[in-house]
Each structure stands twice: as structure tokens, then as C-alpha cells.
Structure 1
């Protein structure tokens, strides 16, 4: 039981729980915005049709609601933009600043092993091409 208690008290689990709660509240907010503001604006372009941009193929059960799809796309884009600009950008900036403050940033004089290997391959190919080039 002690291990389970330690797991639950870790910061990651608590952060995840807070994120889920805030995410569901934010989803309700965006849904209300889209349903009550954006959907009526989209429905204006549907003309005299009270369903907005929806059309019926054969009967009421075969209604295709293009306006609802557009609203869902707009809701997704708004949610993604808010998550990116409110959470991702500040956290990335803070982490980069913390890494710089601790001196953990990438050394500019050091080259990773894969980059060094690719550089050697490039140089060998250039040398091979220069050796096989016809001389005038």
C-alpha cells in the first residue's frame, strides 16, 4: 500500500488530475461559445433553411449538418490554440530558461555522434565525386 500511496502523491498524478478537471471545464466553455455564438453565425449562411447549412438526403434521419461540422472544427482550433499559447509556449520557455540558467544547454563546440558520422559520410562522398570527375 505504501508504494501505491507514493504513486498517488507524486506530482505527475496530481498534475494530470488537475489538467483533466480544467480540461473538462474548458471544453464546456468552448462548447457554449461555439453553440451559442459561432453556430448561429454559420447558420446565417444557410439562407431560409432553419437548419442552417444542413441538408436532408431522403428523410429527417439522413440530415447532413455541415454547420455542425464547421462548428466542431472551429471549437477544436480554438481549444488547440488556447492550449498551445496558454500552456505549451510558457512551459517551453520556462524550461529553456531553466536549462540555460543551470548551464544544461547544448554546447555549441560539441557535435553529437550522429551529426559527426553524417559529416564524415558527406565528406567521403564529396571526395569520391571529386576523384571520379573528369579532368580537363
Structure 2
């Protein structure tokens, strides 16, 4: 079950599911909302009456349907906001809760030759490859092991 959970919560699987399922499911809802509520509000703000998607201007013999573009832009913004707040944020919070990011810094010491930082238990320096001296065992560590 743990393997299935990690497979589902991988970024590419979640992104693919969000793109296909949510995009297909919310398209009709968002388009309906835009057509029923936002298009009339944009028309009211611009002084236009009627269906905004039918608005166009003509230049020469060519029609430019700017109303359809406005509807599509509003639909895109609403869909992106819905995806972000209803899917992406909850998935990110769930992912952080199940697999928190742990930034643990290993203890380091300086190489006596090149002075570059190396992990405390390293035997050789990664930069200059010189053998490193052994770390002296602390008295507390040996008493804790004995007890």
C-alpha cells in the first residue's frame, strides 16, 4: 500500500490526472459560469448589452470576434484558479504531511590540506583526495555505548 501511495503522489502522475480529469470535468461548469454570470457583468461594465461572445469588430472584410476571446480568457483564469485552490494546494499539503522535507545537515570538518568542508566521518577529502585523520572517540559516546 505504501508503494501505491508514493506512486500516486508522484508529481507527474498527479499533474497528468489534474490536466485530464479536472480539465474535462470543469470545462462545462466554467464555461456555463462565464456565460451566465461573468459575460453579462463584462457587458454591463463596458456598456454592451446581449451576448458578449458575439461581439466583434470588422476591419476591411475580416471580422475579429473579440468577445469570444474575452470569454475564453475569463474561462481560463477561472479554471486555473479552481485547479490551484481545489487541487494543487490540497495535494501539496497532503504530500508535505505524508513526506515532510527533512533538511538534515551531516556534521562536517575541514580538510587539513585544502580546507574544504567534508563530512565528519569521511576517510578521504572529496576535493583533494588526501586521507583524513581518524576522528577521536568522545568520552560521552563510549560511556553511552557501555551503559
> Could you state the TM-score of these two structures normalised by the residue count of structure 2?
0.49
2:74 equivalent to 1:64: no
Aligned length: 96
How well do the aligned residues superpose, as a CA RMSD in angstroms? Answer: 3.5
1:40 counterpart SS class: helix
Distance 1:17 1:73 in 2: 23
Q: Structure 1 regions of 5+ residues with no counterpart? A: 1-9, 112-119, 121-136
CA separation of 1:36/1:105 partners in 2, compared to 1, >3 Å: closer, same or farther? Answer: same
Q: How does 1:94-109 map to 2 (within 5 A)?
A: 94-100=94-100, 105-107=102-104, 109=105
Decide which structure has the larger Cα Rg and report it. Answer: 2
Q: How does 1:112-123 map to 2 (within 5 A)?
A: none
Higher helix share: 1
- Per the alignment, residue 30 of structure 1 pairs with 30
Deviation at 1:35, TM superposition (A): 2.0
Distance 1:34 1:99 in 2: 38
- Per the alignment, residue 7 of structure 1 pairs with none
Q: Check whether the contact 1:42–1:67 (CA below 8 A) recurs between aligned residues.
A: no
- Per the alignment, residue 92 of structure 2 pairs with 92
Deviation at 1:31, TM superposition (A): 0.9
